[in-house]
Amino acid sequence: MKRSLSTERTYSLGDYKSLKISDKIEEIPEELAMNPEFMETFRHLQLMEIEKAYYDYSVVSQVMRKDGTDGERLVALTEIVNSTFSKLIELYKKSLDKE
């Protein structure tokens, strides 16, 4: 039987606003899921990935709060999206080369 591991973290953004980041890993083989040290390490990795996602969110949020026109902020955000998408395509192509 395969198991799953879910972690969720809520960050307060002030002014009664919050940001919830979740991560779920499915189909963990039972022999690994029954190993407490493995699962503790896996959960730690999940938490660190969530912290990293929050950090990325704060960086993008700062870009959006900078002085400038809406158009300039949109251009900056579009550059971040395009850069991230390009990196994703590059990683995907590398994974195909390994097969």
What's residue 9's pLDDT? Answer: 94
Residue 11, exposed/middle/buried by CB under 10 A (0-12, 13-18, 19+)? Answer: middle
Task: Determine contact, residues 46/23, Cβ cutoff 8 Å.
Answer: yes
Q: What is the pTM for the complete model shown?
A: 0.70
The model's confidence at residue 81, banded by pLDDT at 50, 70 and 90, is confident
Who has greater pLDDT, 70 or 49?
49
| pLDDT tens per residue across span 6-57 | 999 999 988 899 999 999 999 999 889 999 999 999 999 999 999 999 998 8
